[in-house]
Structure 1
Amino acid sequence: MDIVDRATRSRMMSGIRGKNTRPELAVRSFLHRAGLRFRLHAKLPGKPDLVFPKYRTVVFVHGCFWHRHEDCPYATTPASNPVFWQEKFNSNVRRDKKVRQQLEALGWRVLVIWGCQLDEASLRGLAREIQKRE
C-alpha cells in the first residue's frame, strides 16, 4: 500500500526530470573541474548525458531506481501496482542495453555511473576511465 494518495503520487512522479538532475550536475561539475570538456545530450542513440568526442566516449548518469542498479538498496519496487512497475523497469533495462549496443556499433565507448556512486573516489575513477584511449 502506498503511503500517499494517487494525486500526490502523480504530482511527485511528474516532478522527476530526465535532464540536469542533481546526480548529473554533480558528475558534470566534477569532470569539468578535472579539466575534461564534454557536450551535453548529443543527438546520439539514447541521448547520452555526457559526450566526450576527443575520447570517443559517452557517459550515462543512471538513477538506481529507474535503471535497476543490481544489489543497490535504492533499486526498490513500489508496493502499489507492482506489475506495472516491474514492466516499466524491465523496459528501461532493455532500452539501456539496446542503446549501449547501438553506441558501441557506432564506435563509442559507453560508461555508466550510478546515482549511489557519486563519491570522490568513484568520480576520480570515472575521469581516469574517460581519458583511457583504446
Structure 2
Amino acid sequence: MADIVAPSERSRMMASIKGRDTMPERLVRSHLHRAGLRFRLHQRGLPGRPDIVLARWKAVVFVHGCFWHRHEGCPQTATPSSNTAFWSRKFRENVERDARNIATLRRSGWRVFVVWECRTSTRALDALVRRIRR
C-alpha cells in the first residue's frame, strides 16, 4: 500500500516524534512522584540513558514506545508496508541496543524495569511502584 502523504510531509511528521518527555513517560513520572519516589531523568553516564533513574533504589525505568521498541504481541507494533527492509533493520537494531543496555545495567548492579506505552494504567504503575520499593 502506498503512503497517503507526500514524502516531505511524512519526513516532517517523523521528525516531530519526540524521544523524551512523551505522554507515556510523563504518566510514569507523575505516578512515581505521587508515590513519593524521587528520581533523575535521562542520566548521561548510564548505558541507554534510562528515562528514569531512582538512585536510592538502584533502579532504572525505561518507558518504551510499543512501535519503536517492538512490544511483542501488541497491535501497535505493526510494520510499515513500504520500505520494509529499512524498517526491519531499524527495529532489529533498536531491540538489540535495548537488550545490550539492559544487560550492561544489570551487570553493574542496577535493577531494570521496562514500562510499555500500552501498559501505563494506574494498576500497572502501582505494581511498578511496589516492585521498585522491594
Please, which runs of 5 or more residues in structure 2 have no aligned partner?
A: none
**Structure 1 position 30, deviation (Å):** 0.9
Who is 1:2 aligned against? 3
CA-to-partner distance for each residue in 1:4-55, whole Å, 9 max, x for gaps?
Answer: 1211110000001111111101110111011111111112010000001111
RMSD over aligned Cα, in angstroms?
Answer: 0.7
Who is 1:87 aligned against? 89
Q: Distance in 2 between matches of 1:2 and 1:89?
A: 19
CA-to-partner distance for each residue in 1:76-123, whole Å, 9 max, x for gaps?
Answer: 101110110010000000000000011011110110000000111101
Who is 1:36 aligned against? 37
**Structure 1 position 127, deviation (Å):** 0.7
Aligned amino acid, residue 47 of structure 1: R
CA-to-partner distance for each residue in 1:57-86, whole Å, 9 max, x for gaps?
Answer: 000000000000000000110111011001
TM-score (norm 1): 0.96
Who is 2:20 aligned against? 19
The answer to whether 1:65 aligns with 2:67 is yes
Taking only the aligned residue pairs, the percentage that are identical comes to 55
Q: Distance in 1 between matches of 2:5 and 2:84?
A: 16
Alignment of 1:79-118 (within 5 A): 79-118=81-120
The answer to whether 1:131 aligns with 2:133 is yes
Please, which runs of 5 or more residues in structure 1 have no aligned partner?
A: none
Moved over 4 A (4+): none
Q: Distance in 1 between matches of 2:111 and 2:4?
A: 42
Q: Distance in 1 between matches of 2:24 and 2:77?
A: 16
Aligned amino acid, residue 27 of structure 1: V
Mean Cα deviation higher: 56-65 or 4-13: 4-13
Q: Distance in 1 between matches of 2:48 and 2:28?
A: 18
Aligned length, in residue pairs: 132
